[in-house]
Structure 1
């Protein structure tokens, strides 16, 4: 049964990558794959010899000897756990996307457009690269990608050029998320699991992450796509259409930036802070719009212009729901493989069978090659379950260089495929980027940056 589940996952994965050939939106195979995988898990629950407890990051002992009713109870609890974790991400994402749409409703991004004085493609590339790198460390790589691509859509009107920028933003955002405990879901897992601390994470990973971003951007700046200039927008299009545009921009971005502060103070999940930020931003949006509060949104643009509907409902109607559903499907499908212990065994087999190449890490003698392959694996599958598996596999103490190397590899390795990271999935949805276009044009840049950063880490860990 486990083999059948893996085959279903592989077929679903292929259908996602070939969406343009099949002319089927990627959310459909993602949702079907998720449902079938869990249905097969339920049907074959009595035949599985092991089960991965995601909450404790370890395999359940003697799972095969348990009764059928007890196995079903464990499966239902695991499914609820994964749905809860996925819902946390989705609710967080919904909040961030709504805030971005509210800012756009007030034409807030025109404020940033007015700051970008250059129309040089190369300069715009570097501006957005550094914005993505540092912003992702503050508001996480997923939200940073949403914000920057939204801004990019206002500055670079030609989509064929814009997807190049979006591809490089994925690399920069994932790199920037690795040196901050709130920059990426995997570093957050390691931080909450008391494997890394904020100070050591910065010391070990800032330089490798910076090189992981800068080297691909340096190479890309010589590519034909970034030569020349973009058309300069008319002054009227740059000028904000609302007198509250600047206020809403700073209020919206300030609300998003406040989320990690809220999390640090309350120790609540980030989505709670995001909902608070959305509530505050929405309140000011309603006040500034002078519109009546409405409980429904009928999509009538003329009625909206006459002030009969709120900007919040308008913004909610603009959210890219297919991307949200795709996110649900792919994460829950991966969760099925994780629950069977498949990913845990994959990570364990790497440790067992791979030769000890390169500089060995302390204690368990884990090979650098194993950690690098975990990074490659995070691009193919998902970095979250692989990091979860590593938490149960290795017993190194807090701030051991192994954990920092895992944080780097899992965080930046996902850039090599567009569906290998949350930032890539969101960018794929927002810009309708083709899987194979990314594989052909961006993946090799991400690989070079990944390897350069990994080599840099091997040097930095000997210094500190």
Structure 2
């Protein structure tokens, strides 16, 4: 019994010593003893802050190595977010300020929740259009027209530019890549150049719309740029696409590649889903503009529209299939009969399940990690360095270059969290650079990473890097056009 007491006593002593060690390690020496709950603690020059930085950097190294490691990018940032906020919670608990850290965490969580639900509705609509074979029909139409390779190059680029403001740039890029791979066949040079062109176009098109990219959505939801003000970026975004596209098109032969035609029949309700999506976007804009409420309210209302339409499709499914089957038999349309044999009723929840959950969870990790580092005081240091000691224009241009190396989501979220004192022209500039800067490298945007997987071995990091100087010309040209065209906004 004495031995047991001795063992427990030693264990308790070691545990107490460990707690004291952790408290000493993570408690900054610069804390004032008179700190009150209304003040945040500066952790930038402490062991706790350094550990949080190392954790975030290691997590992001794993994110950047996603293609090599085949490790989904959400996993490391989810763990990093837990560790960073665990450190914050421990320190603030030691100082009797846990209510302050809890409020800060809930603030970041609320920002994420609004964006999560907004993106979830948008992804559900895109998945519904895909399930109704809208994108397949569009691809089949383009392939079956017998366009020359140069025409396909320009057509897919312009379609990527004009579709991505409504659908996200990732979905748009994947759709257009499927077209060029179908048309290009074994012409690897054409496919490689067309993929680069699509990435540039999709990123540029997404820069002048709140719905085109997560970064523009964040800027709109934050309220620093209003919905109608994004249109000021249309011409700079178009220039960003046209400059490199015009140069690259000179290296594509104007020949016709013969491909096998594909017959695709859209499922019932495909066009009406598109109309409902446009109605949902209008509802979100009106909710924010006229009611002063977050756009997510309008988007979730739009999800209700889609659910009611799905209910109608299910209720009228049997009658519609019977009618269509009779018509197909009268016309002896074998293809239509085959398609009808595989039709299942529309299920909106299956479309929600097919959302890009890895991206959504990655976004959670990024928001919480950056929010935690900001709460520690690091974003104030960065803001001081960039937006006080540098010229604001140069700082915003640097943000775009940085987004080519690091994903533009944490970069833009960091800028929004820093909330530097800038005019509308500068906020539009950083929105533009963060949106199109990712085109400089293949790993700089979700569209580029996705196409490296879809056109594996053809569209590669090295293939894209070879054209980076040309893409940089478009990047510089778009900035100069914005500074000139929208000079009155600065």
Shift of 1:212: 0.2
Matched, 1:349 2:385: yes
From 224, 227, 232, the equivalent of 1:195 is 224
Q: Describe the SS at the equivalent of 2:461.
A: helix
Q: 1:157-172 maps to which residues of 2 (within 5 A)?
A: 157=185, 160=188, 162=191, 164-172=193-201
Shift of 1:454: 0.8
Is the contact made by 1:375 and 1:411 (CA closer than 8 Å) also made in structure 2? yes
* CA-atom RMSD in angstroms: 4.1
- CA offsets 1:87-118 (integer angstroms, 9 cap, x no match): 5424532431342132169x523553267441
Shift of 1:308: 7.6
1:301 aligned residue:
none
- CA distance, structure 1, for counterparts of residue 404 and residue 312 of structure 2: 39
1:337 aligned residue:
369
Shift of 1:436: 2.8
From 458, 461, 483, the equivalent of 1:436 is 461
Distance 1:279 1:238, change over 3 A: farther
Bigger mean CA offset, 307-316 vs 130-139 = 307-316
1:44 aligned residue:
87
Distance 1:101 1:261, change over 3 A: same
Matched, 1:238 2:262: yes
- CA distance, structure 2, for counterparts of residue 315 and residue 121 of structure 1: 39
Distance 1:20 1:430, change over 3 A: closer
Q: Describe the SS at the equivalent of 2:388.
A: helix
2:155 aligned residue:
127
2:292 aligned residue:
none
1:206 aligned residue:
234
Q: 1:364-379 maps to which residues of 2 (within 5 A)?
A: 366=392, 368-379=393-404
Is the contact made by 1:418 and 1:435 (CA closer than 8 Å) also made in structure 2? yes
Shift of 1:218: 1.2
Matched, 1:86 2:116: yes
Please list every run of 5 or more consecutive structure 1 residues that lacks an aligned counterpart in the other structure: 50-62, 292-303, 357-365
Q: Describe the SS at the equivalent of 2:471.
A: helix
- CA offsets 1:238-282 (integer angstroms, 9 cap, x no match): 333x3x56x765445444444422322444427533563476378
Distance 1:345 1:278, change over 3 A: farther
Shift of 1:439: 5.0
Shift of 1:405: 1.3
Is the contact made by 2:227 and 2:285 (CA closer than 8 Å) also made in structure 1? no
Q: 1:55-454 maps to which residues of 2 (within 5 A)?
A: 67-68=97-98, 70-72=100-102, 74-75=104-105, 78-79=108-109, 81-82=111-112, 85-103=115-133, 107-109=136-138, 112-113=141-142, 116-118=145-147, 120-149=148-177, 151-152=179-180, 155-157=183-185, 160=188, 162=191, 164-198=193-227, 200-203=229-232, 205-223=233-251, 226-227=252-253, 229=255, 231-234=257-260, 237-240=261-264, 242=265, 244=266, 250-267=271-288, 268-269=295-296, 271-272=299-300, 273=302, 276-277=305-306, 280=309, 284=313, 287=317, 290=321, 307=341, 310=344, 312=346, 324-339=356-371, 340-341=373-374, 342-343=378-379, 345-354=381-390, 356=391, 366=392, 368-391=393-416, 392-396=418-422, 400-424=424-448, 426-427=450-451, 436-437=461-462, 439-441=464-466, 443-454=468-479
- CA distance, structure 2, for counterparts of residue 218 and residue 252 of structure 1: 35
Distance 1:114 1:283, change over 3 A: farther
- CA distance, structure 2, for counterparts of residue 159 and residue 319 of structure 1: 36
Distance 1:20 1:448, change over 3 A: same
- CA distance, structure 1, for counterparts of residue 64 and residue 187 of structure 2: 20
From 45, 54, 68, the equivalent of 1:7 is 54
- CA distance, structure 2, for counterparts of residue 390 and residue 167 of structure 1: 28
- CA offsets 1:19-61 (integer angstroms, 9 cap, x no match): 454xx4241xx23312320231143114779xxxxxxxxxxxx
Q: Describe the SS at the equivalent of 1:395.
A: coil
Runs of 4+ in 1 over 6 A off after TM superposition: 317-321
Name the count of aligned residue pairs: 410
Shift of 1:310: 1.4
Q: Describe the SS at the equivalent of 2:479.
A: helix
